[in-house]
Amino acid sequence: MIPGRLKALSYDTSGFLEGFMQTVRVSFSAVLVALVGGFLGSMVFSGSGAHAATTTSVLQIDVNNITTYLADVDYAHLASRSEPTPTAPKPFMNLYGIGDIYAVDGKPARGTWSVFTALNFLAPVKSPGIAIADTFRGGVAVTNFEILNSDFSPRGTLMAMGLAGGQAPPLSGAFGLHFGNLAVAGGTGEFVGVRGVSGENTNPTDSFRFASTSEDPSIRRDVNGGKLTFIVTIIR
């Protein structure tokens, strides 16, 4: 009786072990395939990320009806005057600029350019009213180009931040960018994920119309405002 029971027990155990090992072999094969596939996939992904080709394009954005409003009045007098209010900028003033985009790369377009700048007037020359420094800059700026097609349908918005005025960064002249030092931080619409450099091809202070923030901004297009061409180098 005992040998028969042991034989039966041995048979049952052998079948169990065979099934278990088969399961282990299948599971190990699946894990191995997953690991190898994942490793190769990560190599392909990292390789494509490391060696993916980037493209550089240059946008020329033409803006007119530019008015830059200088914060020179208290809250009670904001946007209260219906006539032009010419004024002059000073260091440590805040500036709010608005303009109309009318062309992109020479083709009709619509949209709005807007900028906020904290003026500081840096210069390596000691002069009253000028902040002594090693560089020439007008201030620290955040700017946006909200671009529409000529039929007012949206294309996207480019956002940039950096230093207003002064010379453009090195190598920018090849793209026609001569003033300003702003980094394109990103965008929306067709500009999602971009980066690059933004500035102007002419000195912006020659084109700005400065006004007090007491001026009603609804008259901006009725007054002879400034005109500028912005150069935005985009890397995708």
With a cut of 90, say whether residue 22 has pLDDT above it.
no
User: What's the mean per-residue pLDDT of the chain?
Assistant: 83
Question: What confidence score (pLDDT) does residue 176 get?
Answer: 83
Q: How confident is the model at residue 23 (pLDDT cuts 50, 70, 90)?
A: very low
Question: What is the pLDDT confidence band of residue 68, given thresholds at 50, 70 and 90?
Answer: very high
- With cut-offs at 50, 70 and 90, classify the pLDDT of residue 202: confident
Long-range contacts of residues 170-177, Cβ cutoff 8 Å, at least 24 apart: 172/197, 172/199, 172/231, 172/233, 175/58, 175/231, 175/233, 176/58, 176/60, 176/201, 176/231, 177/201, 177/231, 177/233
CATH 2.40.480, domain 56-235, yes or no: yes
Sign, CA torsion 179/180/185/190? negative
Residue 45's pLDDT band (cuts 50, 70, 90): very low
Which pLDDT does position 196 carry in this prediction?
95
Least confident of 53-67, 106-120, 144-158, 161-175: 161-175
Q: What is the pTM of this model?
A: 0.77
Region 127-136: what's the mean pLDDT?
A: 95
- pLDDT higher than 60, residue 46: no
- Which position has the higher pLDDT, 5 or 211? 211
Q: Which residue has the higher pLDDT, 232 or 16?
A: 232
